[in-house]
Structure 1
């Protein structure tokens, strides 16, 4: 059994062969896929994919790169979409200080709002954190959200252990295979295998 915990099959890059690809998943042993949203539009399209395929589930949320038109009405729409029977998480949400497409204050504000939504709906979160490890950790710790995944984790081994204590899974990406990725190897070795995605 394979479980793809983070995908973006609603992305336009899959337009040419999306259905062909997704129809083959069961025969390849892929039993569950979570299509992670990056914005309001992908929240909707991810749910449409989930309606079409029994083995696809979706999250709803707005990625820190996509906050330009974020309003309280967006939060209300996410709340409505999250009521869908195949919505399993709020995400991909968080902080991205690498590109800083949006001001840090704006990112923090909407991250907290979406965490609050997850808390109210009792849904896990899918967290994006790039070059904002400590601040992201502090905001999550101050919230009441205690389940989800820290996607493409890049923080310290000690912080990963703290996330695990709080109830989170750690998403370890392909970077762990790079020759100079010693800190990621240390992180992977420091946490229980069953907490790694």
Structure 2
């Protein structure tokens, strides 16, 4: 009944047991997994993963941490592969792209150029974006508004209420994952509680951002435990408790929100969407 809107299931951490990890997620009620690329070298990898595992869909993009060495040839590769993927129902958008002003040593101007050029590709093909917004919410949002990109997800959102409002007004959804499970993450938990339900989607960012039960909640530390897509069910439990709603209400809402953010997901309603009363799947937005 859940969809993990951001999971790097192609990562090397899953090489020993990738299928078992996906099976465990399905057993936990996770019916869909969105797998974003991070660089041109893994475009084929995420596509092949989604095409052999019916639970997965994929996005193509160049992550800001992979921006060193990524230039016009990589952008040309991205555009060609996007064009070639438009007929693939498992292709859902451009990502993971964005800006990272937390990690030292990255060229801010080069990151911004690469991000803007990828937004132009998203706009050209009318595609959604999966956004990396680490210490860069204002700058990422400003370029979205400038280029008129109005669908997608601000992944692992950790900004202010005002920054959240601006993303939502632009038409984006906000991704919440393991961070919301820490009792000391007061700002994130406040956002998860107070923002409109229609603004929220669930994610893991597996193998990263492990939830509190795999870490040390007492000190708010995320240890190097491997996160997995199955943990989105636990994130959902925490989110439902924070908001005082039942699991099915949250599942139906976050499914609708995921489809609003990534409309190409609508093709998978029969296999991913949570059931309505009577056993039918949820309707998708028009």
So what's the TM-score if we normalise by structure 1? Answer: 0.92
Please say if 1:89 is aligned against 2:93: yes
List per-residue Cα deviations over 1:38-86 (Å, max 9, x = no partner): 1112222100101101221101001111012212221121122223212
Contact 2:141 2:166 in 1 (8 A): no
Q: What is the RMSD computed on CA atoms of the aligned residues? A: 1.6
Determine which of 179, 185, 188 is the counterpart of 1:181.
Answer: 185
Residue in structure 2 matched with residue 196 of structure 1 by the alignment: 200
Larger RCO, structure (CA 8 Å, separation 6 or more): 2
Please say if 1:146 is aligned against 2:150: yes
Residue in structure 1 matched with residue 19 of structure 2 by the alignment: 19
Determine which of 116, 125, 128 is the counterpart of 2:129.
Answer: 125
Contact 1:67 1:107 in 2 (8 A): yes
Contact 1:147 1:167 in 2 (8 A): yes
Residue in structure 1 matched with residue 163 of structure 2 by the alignment: 159
Residue in structure 2 matched with residue 31 of structure 1 by the alignment: 31
Give secondary structure in 2 for the equivalent of 1:105: helix
Residue in structure 2 matched with residue 45 of structure 1 by the alignment: 45
The structure with the largest alpha-carbon Rg is 2
Please say if 1:9 is aligned against 2:13: no
Q: What 5-or-longer segments of structure 2 have no aligned partner?
A: 202-286
Q: What 5-or-longer segments of structure 1 have no aligned partner?
A: none
Give secondary structure in 2 for the equivalent of 1:119: helix
So what's the TM-score if we normalise by structure 2? Answer: 0.65
